[in-house]
Amino acid sequence: MMMKKLLTSVLLIGLVTGCDSDSGSTPEKPVVPESGKSKYLTMDIKPAAKFTGEFYVKLGRYDDPVTHWIHDNSDLDNKDRPKADGPDVDFNNDGWIDERDAHAAGVYNPEEVTIKIDAAQMHQLLMTNPDGLGAGTARPDIFVPGHYSVFDALRYLALTRDDLKLDAITSPEESGRDTYEFVLSWDSNGDGVFDEQDNDVYANFQGKDWHFRSKYDGGEFRKIDSTISGIGPQGELTYSRMDQFWIQPGMTIRFQPFSPEMTARRRWAQDREMARFEEAGGKVIVPTLMFNNFKENEQPKVISNLEVTAHNMRPDIFQPGVITKMDVFLSAADAGQDILFNYWPTLSTGAKIEHFALFRVNGVASDVGRGWTTGYGEKAIIKDFTRNSRCDFSSPEGGNMDLVVDPEHCRIDWRTNFGGWAVHVMSDVWVMNQPVEYVYAEIKSHYKVWGMPEYSGKEIMERDFSKAEDGSDIMTLQVFELPSEQDGTPLLRETHFGWGIADCTECHNEQKQPQGHGGHNWPVNSSDGFDETQPYYCATCHGSNGAPAGHGETARCFWCHDTKENRPLHHGDASTQRRYQASKGEVKSNPYIYNTNSPKKELNALPRDSMGNYEEYTDLMSSVNSDWDMSRVFPDPYSCMTCHPSQG
């Protein structure tokens, strides 16, 4: 098809290098800026998001034959994993039906066309106001110049493709729902004509029921619990307004037609938000905010009729006064609740997050694989998207809507666990200018699903660092206490020539003139089974040598401190990356998460490619502290928690 021609129109302070090997000269001390940390944050950071790079678009519904095959051959009443009906489809005889069985039956999810959007080209075109909806974003009341919504991406596609046509555009004011509404035609059969021949289950021609799904870039992390409950190739669905949903570079957006019932349900939810806004005199007042940490004998904390005000935590993206879901929790903090957010940078998987995340509520903090997750909406729609959804929206629990959903439409549009809450949309970018009925935060755990060991960094753990199967090289890992002034030990001061350098062995080693400890006889934690010098063991007598305090996290520090901009310097092999290959038996340290061979089926979490097909990890680059390995000199999190204890 001919295309239209495009219109032309932080986390770490950089430490200095190690000491001079000959002169013993004093290196320049690292400069530590004064903290400007917000009272709402665990660290001092101000994100600066840019609309650069690329994002990706897919058009039309995706049938997902693998999921359908699993549905047809599974017991969906089993809440954990689908259970095999019989040996005829359980091809690997493990008692469960999953993608591997589908593949053995010859069923795979096929690749589909991906449209690559260059952010700079989209910005250049839309700044000319080519469709009369505004120079730049169509919602300048929401986004600062240079940032865009999903609706803006649709505008751009309609302007640059011959197979898309955007008609009958209704403004946010005219729609009465504070969002653009439109009619879209897609020449899905590629014959150059927009007509009814383009329709399939739903209307691709003059369709009034188009909306979007989204999927964020997860980097190399391919674990999804199941395509039945996971996002698969379709993406996550939400009732959110398309023109208020921020595009983050790297994400994938799917534009597709839905059923008329889906459109009615989405508009019903939005109408209720608008009515609540009017009733409150233009204020955002949330009727119910609930915190549930699931502690025994402790009831959830409920806050009623919370007035939400803008805290402008993302001025790099939103105009002053725009309210996000993060503002709900910060308004609760202003009302006396103990609320803290932390910040997720680019992760060790390569996933570019760069958002604030709810970290602590009333003394209960996230703990590695267990933490706070958030959601919001009308109470009646909280359970809309489940694996066994019946779309019973006319019931009192469903909101007493005058709506009956075709069972096939219910199956296609609603029947997924991961649907309408788009759990990967972070709170700081989820616009909520109209009050929803219900906002919640609750503790969820991935320990069982991912098979991670449950530790906070304080527990003592034994680990086999050897390649031998007899466990002949067992070390004991533990967090040590730092000395105090009263202990009488020789604490390092700022006058120490290596102040701020984490790895003592850069200067104190056999090649350089020794200082103290009887020549080369450096203290080694032999009682725990180690035979090398460990700087964090040295810190038990000499202190942390200027190491900055921690920020509340307790383990798996490599999740964030493994990328180019966040990797810890002067931490020996923990500052490096290496290649791990399954062919050499190196992708084995955590088989539960990444390659599933566990006899415990609740841990049977498979890695999958972007289309939802099973795909093992075979070759990857990762830090020495990772799911594949652990440094013996700077083991994560034990060395981290020793030298970087959290304040408060």
| pLDDT tens column, 237-246 | 889 999 999 9
Q: Which of 5-19, 50-64, 89-103, 215-229 has the lowest mean pLDDT?
A: 5-19
Q: For residue 642, how far is the Cα from the chain centroid? A: 27
> For the chain, what are the domain ranges?
54-261, 273-450, 457-576+624-647
CB atoms near residue 101 (< 10 Å): 24
pLDDT in tens, 80-89: 445 555 557 8
Give percent of the chain above pLDDT 90: 56
Higher pLDDT, 7 or 642: 642
Give 580's strand partners.
620
Question: pLDDT at residue 421 above 70?
Answer: no
Amino acid 107: pLDDT = 95
Higher pLDDT, 370 or 307: 307
CA end-to-end distance (rounded Å), the chain: 62
Q: Position of tokens 């694989």? A: 369
The highest-confidence range among 36-40, 314-318, 548-552, 614-618, by mean pLDDT, is: 314-318
Alpha-carbon distance of 316 to 355, in angstroms, equals 12
Residue 16's pLDDT band, with cuts at 50, 70 and 90, is very low
Provide the sign of the torsion angle of the four alpha carbons 139, 143, 144, 150, taken in this order: negative
Higher pLDDT, 474 or 158: 158
Q: Which of 221-225, 402-406, 594-598 has the lowest mean pLDDT?
A: 594-598
Alpha-carbon dihedral angle through residues 620, 621, 623, 626, given to the nearest 10 degrees: -10
Alpha-carbon distance of 99 to 81, in angstroms, equals 12
Provide the sign of the torsion angle of the four alpha carbons 276, 211, 311, 548, taken in this order: positive
Alpha-carbon distance of 91 to 102, in angstroms, equals 9
Residue 281 backbone class (left: φ over 0; alpha: ψ -120 to 50; beta: rest): left
Task: State the chain's mean pLDDT as an integer.
Answer: 85
Q: Which of 149-158, 257-266, 620-629 has the lowest mean pLDDT?
A: 620-629
The answer, yes or no, to whether the previous bond of 599 is cis (omega within 30 of 0) is no
74-75/54-59 β-pairing:
unpaired
pLDDT in tens, 437-485: 999 999 988 777 666 667 778 889 888 887 666 667 889 999 999 998 8
Tokens found for residue 531: 């035979």
Amino acid 636: pLDDT = 92
Give percent of the chain above pLDDT 70: 84
Contact 213, 395 (CB under 8 A): no
Amino acid 49: pLDDT = 97
Amino acid 622: pLDDT = 85
Higher pLDDT, 61 or 628: 61
Q: Which of 54-58, 67-71, 587-591, 641-645 has the lowest mean pLDDT?
A: 587-591
CATH number given to 273-450: 2.170.130.30
CB atoms near residue 150 (< 10 Å): 24
Phi/psi for 207 (5° steps) reads -80, 130
Q: Helices marked H in 346-461 — which ranges?
A: 407-413, 447-450
Amino acid 10: pLDDT = 29
Tokens found for residue 538: 């040295």
Question: pLDDT at residue 116 above 60?
Answer: yes
Give 440's strand partners.
290, 375
Residue 26's pLDDT band, with cuts at 50, 70 and 90, is very low
Amino acid 36: pLDDT = 65
Q: What is the mean pLDDT of residues 59-76?
A: 83
Alpha-carbon distance of 412 to 419, in angstroms, equals 11
Amino acid 80: pLDDT = 47
Contact 479, 557 (CB under 8 A): no
Tokens found for residue 213: 């799904």
Q: Which amino acid is it at 244? A: Q
Q: What is the mean pLDDT of residues 51-62?
A: 96
Amino acid 358: pLDDT = 96
Question: pLDDT at residue 41 above 50?
Answer: yes
Amino acid 590: pLDDT = 52
Contact 245, 212 (CB under 8 A): yes
Question: pLDDT at residue 592 above 50?
Answer: no
Amino acid 508: pLDDT = 84
pLDDT in tens, 598-625: 444 444 567 788 888 888 888 888 888 9
Nearest-CA neighbor of 262 among 203, 206, 214, 216? 203
Nearest-CA neighbor of 588 among 473, 478, 464, 445? 464
Phi/psi for 519 (5° steps) reads 80, -125
Alpha-carbon dihedral angle through residues 417, 420, 426, 431, given to the nearest 10 degrees: -170
Give Cα separations from 391 to 265, 394, 434, 549 (angstroms): 10, 9, 25, 50
Tokens found for residue 484: 């105090």
* Residue 237 host element (H or E): strand 236-237
Q: Helices marked H in 312-445 — which ranges?
A: 325-334, 407-413
Nearest-CA neighbor of 500 among 143, 30, 2, 25? 30
pLDDT in tens, 526-559: 999 998 899 999 999 999 999 999 998 888 899 8
